[in-house]
């Protein structure tokens, strides 16, 4: 199968610092990939290079047939790459529906012309549809995001990402700050994205999460891919050995 995303010997230098020294891997459509590695291994730099925030110093990044080297972050997002940052970037004072459509609220039309009035009924309807599509447990789209639990906020961030019709969702440590009983719910959301044919790259330190939902795991060490393994065919000990450099 043609990969959705393919990286070939990607390198990134910040002045004298070589954050990425040769990263290669391919991701199939609908595949869930874990990105693992110790602090400083290059995980965040790699994701920012895929989303266009950083420009690779060398190597190739292909997504859905396009060479991303010439694309800016807006164009890469339009191609179908969504990144959910660890801080989620939500407006805590606003409700769920507003957060899902933050910055691009549908406006009413009058005689075919857009009126610059936000169509609140439509926002709520579409936000509810997104939440339902995800099977997320958010009590009402009128709840203030700041009043929701960490797992529910994570659901809102994922629902927001879905409104861009992504082919790939990148999640940075989505379960790191969650209560134990909320982790399973977020993992269920990852499985739901996969069922919908959306590929996921999951950055996580929690190997139990990785083994629960990921198809494959790659490990970065000092800016290089040092392992690329099918989760069903490896063990936590093997992965840990790769992360710490004993493998
Ligand atoms: N903007 C930057 N300028 C200079 N060095 C950076 C920058 N971003 C990251 N680095 C360096 O690149 C290396 C990889 O960092 P990072 O990608 O944040 O790793 P990780 O996310 O795996 O913890 C580190 O040595 C870090 O200090
Ligand atoms: Mg990081």
Which of 149, 165, 181 is at the close of a domain? 165
Ligand 1 within 6 A of CB of 20: no
pLDDT in tens, 30-76: 999 999 999 999 999 999 999 999 999 999 999 999 999 889 999 99
| 45 Cα to the center of ligand 1, angstroms | 6
Ligand 1 within 6 A of CB of 37: yes
Which of 165, 186, 204 is at the close of a domain? 165
Atom of ligand 1 nearest to the CA of 39: 23
Instruction: Count up the domains in the chain and report the number.
Output: 2
Ligand 1 within 6 A of CB of 113: no
Same domain, 13 and 130: no
pLDDT in tens, 130-184: 898 888 888 899 999 999 988 899 889 999 998 889 999 999 988 887 888 888 8
Closest C-alpha to ligand 1, atom 16: 42
CATH code of residue 8: 3.40.50.300
Q: What is the 3-state secondary structure (H, E, C) of the chain?
A: CCCCEEEEEEEEEECCEEEEEEEEEEECCCCEEEEECCCCCCHHHHHHHHCCCCCCCEEEEEECCEEHHHCCHHHHHHHCEEEECCCCCCCCCCEHHHHHCCCCCCEEEECCEEEEEECHHHHHHHHHHHHHHHCCCCCCCCCEHHHCCHHHHHHHHHHHHHCCCCCEEEEECCCCCCCHHHHHHHHHHHHHHHHCCCEEEEECCCHHHHHHHCCEEEEEECCEEEEEEEHHHCCHHHHHHHHHCCC
| 66 Cα to the center of ligand 2, angstroms | 26
Looking at residue 109, its pLDDT comes to 61
Same domain, 11 and 72: yes
pLDDT band at 114 (very low <50, low <70, confident <90, very high): low
Same domain, 117 and 179: no
Closest C-alpha to ligand 1, atom 24: 40
Which of 148, 165, 182 is at the close of a domain? 165
Looking at residue 132, its pLDDT comes to 87
Looking at residue 110, its pLDDT comes to 60
The residue segments making up the domain with residue 137 are 88-165
Of the chain, the percentage scoring pLDDT greater than 90 comes to 69
Same domain, 56 and 173: yes
Same domain, 64 and 92: no
């Amino acid at each position: 199968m043609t990969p959705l995303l393919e990286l070939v010997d990607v390198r990134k230098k910040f002045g004298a610092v070589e954050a990425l020294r040769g990263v290669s891997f391919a991701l199939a459509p609908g595949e869930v990939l874990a990105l693992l590695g110790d602090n400083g291994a290059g995980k965040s730099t790699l994701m920012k290079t895929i989303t266009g925030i950083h420009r690779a110093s060398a190597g190739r990044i292909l997504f859905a047939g396009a060479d991303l080297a010439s694309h800016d972050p807006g164009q890469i997002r339009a191609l179908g790459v969504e990144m959910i940052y660890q801080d989620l970037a939500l407006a805590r004072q606003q409700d769920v529906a507003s957060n899902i459509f933050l910055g691009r609220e549908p406006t009413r039309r009058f005689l075919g012309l857009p009126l610059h009035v936000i169509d609140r009924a439509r926002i709520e309807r579409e936000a509810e549809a997104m939440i339902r599509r995800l099977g997320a447990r958010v009590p009402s789209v009128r709840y203030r995001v700041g009043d929701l639990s960490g797992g529910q906020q994570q659901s809102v961030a994922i629902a927001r990402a879905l409104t861009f019709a992504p082919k790939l969702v990148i999640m940075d440590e989505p379960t790191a700050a969650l209560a134990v009983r909320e982790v399973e719910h977020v993992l269920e959301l990852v499985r739901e994205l996969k069922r919908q044919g959306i590929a996921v790259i999951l950055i996580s330190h929690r190997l139990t999460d990785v083994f629960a939902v990921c198809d494959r795991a790659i490990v970065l060490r000092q800016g290089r891919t040092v392992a690329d393994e099918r989760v069903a065919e490896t063990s936590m000990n093997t992965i840990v050995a790769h992360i710490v450099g004993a493998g």
